[in-house]
Amino acid sequence: MPTPSMEDYLERIYQLIESKGYARVSDIAETLEVHPSSVTKMVQKLDKQEYLVYEKYRGLILTAKGKKIGKRLVYRHELLENFMRIIGVEHEHIYTDVEGIEHHLSWDAIDRIGDIVQYFEEDPKRVENLREVQSKNEQEKLED
């Protein structure tokens, strides 16, 4: 399995290829806010581990293995963002919170979170009920 840092790169490369049709070192560096030299080093590592094929000055393509992992990582990220929205995390905290936890959860935990998201999405009344509980708890905090 890739390291958390490798996962961040694979996730971003997958997203860039899906949206633009390609991913250049400069694009990856810009979106991850790192130096192009750091991207080149990581891309070379990912190439060695057969997640992608990298040719200097020509670009890169994800292998089947890289696409599969990239797609799964994007799913994980989006699922966790959706989960955070459902449970009422403030919008400005969601991205940072997801980035902070996504590498520390097992795929079993991700699957269970997926079950919870599905449970709430299947019946919007459930989200309303959750908001009522949260509102009650907030009110109780203010009274203490």
Is the separation of the CB atoms in 51 and 66 below 8 Å?
yes
Is 77 labelled as part of a ligand binding site? yes
Is 11 labelled as part of a ligand binding site? yes
Three-state DSSP at 121 gives helix
Is 104 labelled as part of a ligand binding site? no
Which residue in 140, 139, 134 sits closest to 88, CA to CA?
134
CB proximity list for 121: less than 8 A, separation 6 or greater: 86
Is 132 labelled as part of a ligand binding site? no
- String of DSSP letters for 23-55: --HHHHHHHHT--HHHHHHHHHHHHHTTSEEEE
Is 93 labelled as part of a ligand binding site? no
User: Which residue ranges are tagged as binding site?
Assistant: 8, 11, 77, 99, 102-103
User: Which residue ranges are tagged as binding site for Mn(2+)?
Assistant: 8, 11, 77, 99, 102-103
